[in-house]
Amino acid sequence: MTTRKMILDVDTGVDDAMAITYALADPNVELIGILSSFGNIEADRAAANALKLLQLYQCPQVPVFIGRANPLDHQYQRIAVNAQIHGENGIGDVNLPAATAQIAKQNGVDFLIDAAQKYGEQLCVVTTGPMTNLAAAFAKDPVAIRKIGNITVMGGALTVPGNVTPVAEANVEQDPVAANQLFTSDLKITMVGLDVTLRTLLTKQETSQWRTCNPTAGAKLADIVDFYIDVYDEIYPELGGCSLHDPLAVGVAIDPSFVTTIPLNLLVTTEHDAYYARTIGDKARLNEPTNLNVAVGVDRERYLNVFMKLFLDFLEKLN
């Protein structure tokens, strides 16, 4: 497999931390930058969390940029720390040492545009928070963003209920205007939503292996994720573990065969009613060429095996 250059666009909560770990652990990826956005936590603190994780993993060379701090939908700004799910600090209330590296001065949206122009088809962009940065970059320079070879987004819910409202998934709900602009554009996008991420689960049986493998970085990562698992045990006891939302999107961006997809033109409801932020098929474009591949099935056992091997190999090398 050819090594691909990847940008992660994160709102660094617990599963974003696993997404960053996955991108660093996979030898087929060169992580060239991390953008932060609002979502699980404010954009500046999301960037700080990313820097701390990079330091924990001895990867200070990866630059971190702050992107948009607010949604495109200025009429309905709902930016609050998702402390119930991710902790007050976004990473399970686990304290990581302050990073010595600094946040890059360039705006994250401009970095994304520059990278698209420079790398084109070689570039893979994975969003694991609101799609605001990508939508803003597309609005500013659509020619450059159309050059990106792979755009994979964690967001949406087509065949299952939402996790914020009965119809809305959290990342889309944070900025449905941005999501709708992208989903109704001509950009080729793979949507990795709750349809597949809710089936891909992690338990403390797996995180305990990280502690054994690496008593420093592995133990810190396990502490972060165990917080998340405890939350899931309370809120979603029927699942039997925590969902691997964001790291699954990274995995699919690298190896699309982890999921089965259907081609479908989607839209996102942006009216402020009971269907706000719903992802649904676009009736007006049913017979038009599709720009979106929606993941609806997942090879969860193979994915988890790859996930764990990558993480354990990576943590072992850090010893």
Distance CA 271, CA 154 (A): 22
Distance CA 78, CA 94 (A): 25
Amino acid at 137: A
Strand runs labelled E in 159-258: 189-192, 201-202, 242-243
- CA proximity to 29, closest of 53, 60, 62: 62
Q: Any catalytic annotation for residue 245? A: yes
What b/e sequence results for 177-208 when a residue is b if at least 16 CB atoms lie within 10 Å of its CB, and e otherwise?
Answer: bbbbbbbbbebebbbbbbbbbbbbbbbbebbe
Amino acid at 102: Q
Q: Given the residues 16, 141, 223, 245, select the one marked as catalytic.
A: 245
Distance CA 26, CA 21 (A): 9
Q: Any catalytic annotation for residue 11? A: yes
Q: Given the residues 9, 11, 15, 141, select the one marked as catalytic.
A: 11
Catalytic residues: 11, 245
